[in-house]
Amino acid sequence: MIKIIFICLGNICRSPLAEAICQHKIKEKGLTDKISCDSAGTANYHIGEDPDSRSIEVSIKHGVPIQHKGRQFHYTDGETYDYILPMDESNMRNIIHELGYKHEGLFLMREFDAQDKGADVPDPYYGGKDGFENVYQMLDRSIEAFIGMLIEKHSL
């Protein structure tokens, strides 16, 4: 089983949305017995909370079920997950600091986005609904390409 974790700061906007999109795509591709995913935040602001209502709204709009309770990334996650996908450079640095090393499966989420490879997924928290839609589109493209890479690399 390939285990993936998506990381953002508070674990209520970007990373639970990425988790939901990934779970949806895994299910559509018949890979639920081969790939699992989760999400967490590098900060402890929203532990136990539901995703932001705007993340839920954009997810539902696209027919993607979303269920998650916020949790904080922990150094033991480095041993649990094969791939760690932070939304931005700041969270990547936080992960490396928490782990004490650079995990071999650590990639910025948008390393897999052909439209702006390697860019940050912007935090939509302080903006409007349009920001959440833009983030959804970035994540949808990036996760589709990421799953494609997993299928090829791991012969799924």
Residues labelled as active-site residues: 8, 14, 123
Structure tokens at 95: 């992960």
Alpha-carbon dihedral sign for residues 88, 117, 81, 46? positive
DSSP 51-73: PPHHHHHHHHHTT--------B-
Q: For residue 23, count other CB atoms closer than 10 A to its CB.
A: 22
